[in-house]
Amino acid sequence: MQYLKLNDGHRIPANGFGDFQVPDTKECADAVREAIKTGYNFIDTAEMYDNEDQTGKGIKASGIDRDKLFVETKIWETNFQYDDAKNAIDKSLKDLGLNYVNMFLIHWPHGEYDQAWRAMIEAHQAGKLKSIGVSNFSSQQIVDLIKKFGVKPAVNQIKINPWDQKHDEVKWLEDHNIVPEAWSPFAEGRHNAFHDPTLGKIAKAHGKSNSQVILRWLYQRGIVSLAKTVHPQYMKENFDIYSFKLTPSEMKTINNIQ
């Protein structure tokens, strides 16, 4: 596993397992346990996914030492009011069965998210949240948050894939020492991602799959990736992105995908 350094001194694994749209109780817990067994030490979930409790059960069943696991979750907009946010943080910890999470994000910049940020800063100072960040924020929204509170988000989780590459946004985040995270690296099944011929040619040259090429492309751009699957064979595939390297020409080819 490779890591990226965060602006608060902590580290974040370069690729993680996400459990979005895995609400089924047993399936979610089993998937999380299997992902950890595969080698993942980064689990991404959210209050809105309605499966934090099952994520916690999967973590517990895995038997992994807590200090070897990076857990990330997110607060939903219905709990952005200050007191609601404080309660939501505690509920997430309770549902996950953890004393702290490694990363806690504002899921979307809707409503009075600044109140949630204030509660998150306090929870961070109390040790409940090791790092705090945002998701789906624009650069201006991040600037406004920093100006108001003086605390910079450690990450911004945004949609990034070969058909939505966000080069300008990623550069801005890098320039401001904020790690970009990519959700939907496979474009939510659109654009024929797993069978795209351009990606397929590159994948064949390395003896890898399209999904591995996409995740490796993100890694070489300095972007944390989050892949979701409930199938053990694909977990293993998505985890294996460090045994090959894309050439500058291959990176350019992917960067030119429309």
Catalytic residues: 49
Annotated binding-site residues read 107
Write a three-state SS string for the chain. CCEEECCCCCEEECEEEECCCCCCHHHHHHHHHHHHHHCCCEEECCHHHCCHHHHHHHHHHHCCCHHHCEEEEEECHHHCCHHHHHHHHHHHHHHHCCCCEEEEEECCCCCCHHHHHHHHHHHHHCCCEEEEEEECCCHHHHHHHHHHHCCCCCEEEEECECCECCHHHHHHHHHCCCEEEEECCCHHHHHHHHHCHHHHHHHHHHCCCHHHHHHHHHHHCCCEEEECCCCHHHHHHHHCCCCCCCCHHHHHHHHCCC
d(CA 207, CA 17): 23
Locate 230 and state its tokens.
Answer: 């409930």
Contact yes or no for 3/11 (Cβ under 8 A): yes
124 within 8 A of 105, measured Cβ to Cβ: no
Q: Which residues are annotated as a binding site for substrate?
A: 107
